[in-house]
Amino acid sequence: MGIQTKTQTDLQMKAKKVIEEFVDLTLMAIDEQKKRPFKDTYAINQLEQSVMSIYAILLNRGDRQ
């Protein structure tokens, strides 16, 4: 494994961790929003679907590498 490949792999792993943390924090924020008495259910559901799509893409990309 060359230096460039190792650096690229390291960056990909760091990016994956950052995205995973973003997904986790966003899902926690969504859960908190769902508990509020006055909420925009449509917007919450759209955000949740978007975040889960991002996570699914991340998982699929990881399988190919």
- pTM, two decimal places: 0.67
- Rounded CA-CA distance 20/43 in Å is 21
Question: Residue 39 carries which DSSP code?
Answer: -
Per-residue model confidence (pLDDT) at position 63? 52
State the Cα torsion 7-10-12-15 to the nearest 10°.
-120
Per-residue model confidence (pLDDT) at position 38? 84
pLDDT tens digit at each of 65 positions of the chain: 566 787 888 888 898 899 889 889 999 999 998 898 888 889 889 999 999 998 888 878 765 54
Per-residue model confidence (pLDDT) at position 53? 92
